[in-house]
Amino acid sequence: MSKYTIFGMILWLGGFVLVISQGMSIKTGTEEIWMTLNIVDIIGKHYFHWIDNMSWLLLRQIANYLVSLPLCVSLFVSGLFLVVIDGSNRA
């Protein structure tokens, strides 16, 4: 296993932990919704003002979409991306 695969699996594990904790919080009735948690909520909106200043509309829309994805989806997709990169390097 390379470091890409290991890091991708760690990201998948983080995504699974978020999904499981969300399921457990729904069952217990605490109503903490993790699906709305995204990178902007964790880091802070003031670090992402540079996205609004991008000159190309398409790049701005893509960047806004990527940072507003739910965190568990971001973790799953980035983990999959790293595993696919490692697989393509081996071929």
Residue boundaries of the structural domains of the chain: 1-35+71-91, 39-69
Residues 6+ apart with CB under 8 A from 67: 38, 39, 40, 48, 51
Residue that wins the pLDDT comparison between 22 and 81:
81
Q: How far is it, in rounded angstroms, from Cα 32 to Cα 11? A: 21
Q: How far is it, in rounded angstroms, from Cα 20 to Cα 5? A: 22
How is residue 53 written in tokens? 């200043």
Q: CB atoms < 10 A from the CB of 83, how many?
A: 19
Does 10 have pLDDT greater than 90? yes
Amino acid 44: pLDDT: 86
Looking at the DSSP bridge assignments, the partners of residue 38 are 70
Q: Which pLDDT band, with edges at 50, 70 and 90, does 78 fall under?
A: very high
When the pLDDT of each residue in the chain is averaged and rounded to a whole number, the result is 85
Amino acid 89: pLDDT: 77
Q: How far is it, in rounded angstroms, from Cα 23 to Cα 27? A: 6
